[in-house]
Amino acid sequence: MKPYFSTVLTRLFLLAVLASAGLFTTACKKDAPEIKDYSGIDQETIIKYLADNNITTAQKQPSGLYFLPVRTNPTGTKVTVGSAVAVLFTGHLLDAAGTVFDASSMRTNPLLSFVLGAGQTPPGFEEGISLMHVGDKAELLLPSALAFGPASGKNLPANSVVRFEVEIIDVPVYDDNLLTSYLAAKNITTAQKQASGLYFLPVTTNPSAARPVIGNTVTVQYTGHFFDATGKVFDASTANSPLVFKYGTNRLVPGFEEGIALMHKGDKAELLLPSALAYGAQGSSGSIGPNTAIRFEVEVVDIK
């Protein structure tokens, strides 16, 4: 059994998910130097940025955070402490070029997912997100003490004032848009959307053969892909090591088993799974982060 198909899911904390880019790991180094008070300098930097860009709608918070609403969705769910949040973001320096030091677009899974209040993101980032609803867009201007302090990383000098463009995402809507955009980009018109949100794309069919029923042992060859630009493979079976499982025991992610149920022995298909039918808001203990939609190429080799 491939580990990706375990139903025991381990929560991936944000620090682990973002380790490759170093966005939040650098801010947590135990050997960081003593923090100097840059509040006055940071305040001047932010005020100059607002003036230079003719921004008059930024709302200064008591903490020193500046919150700039871009799009509001007052009927959306309010983000509260303890909420699981999914965010699209771009992080900039306040230099003349607006240097990007990190962004959702740089990731295999663009959604940044975390629990608000768990200390998984910089305090100014969390504070800004707490002022928003699902569907809102905003800009957050963070003085260095509310960002990464004396920590540094690629394109991120120590004690930097930073600006985040953020959007709180409705994950089911985002996932469905992602899957339909993939189909449109590939000019695929034969995908069958199921009531669950799964998209089933038959490739070859063998309608005279049997479909699996509960208790059958099913042998499958599969390749699992992310929906990034390269279609990166995160897991795959081999000719010598197919996936063999007992159908109906709920040992697989639900979208995979639902897709196999639509197939006959000898069929090939593609399964496009929204994150809720894959590894959900927790992700897996492997390389799949929270709220990640995935795609499988599958072949039902045998049913017994």
Report residue 153's pLDDT band, with 50, 70 and 90 as the boundaries.
confident
With residue 46 as reference, give the H or E element that holds it: helix 39-52
Separation of alpha carbons 243 and 253, rounded Å:
13
Q: Could you read off the pLDDT of 264-288 as tens digits, one per residue?
A: 999 999 999 999 999 998 898 778 9
pLDDT number for residue 34 = 60
- pLDDT per residue over 215-231, tens digit each? 999 999 999 999 988 89
Q: Which pLDDT score, from 0 to 100, does residue 109 have?
A: 85
pTM to 2 decimals? 0.82
**Domains 14-169 and 172-303 agree in fold:** yes
pLDDT more than 70, % of the chain? 88
Residue indicated by tokens 């982060």: 289
Give Cα separations from 206 to 25, 84, 203 (angstroms): 51, 43, 10
Domain ranges of the chain: 14-169, 172-303
Region 243-252 average pLDDT: 93
Q: pLDDT at position 36, please?
A: 77
For the chain, give the percent of residues with pLDDT over 90: 78
- pLDDT level of residue 250 (50, 70, 90 thresholds): confident
pLDDT at 26 over 90: no
* Class in CATH terms, 14-169: alpha beta
Tell me the CATH number of domain 172-303, given options 3.40.50.620, 3.40.50.2300, 2.60.40.10, 3.10.50.40.
3.10.50.40
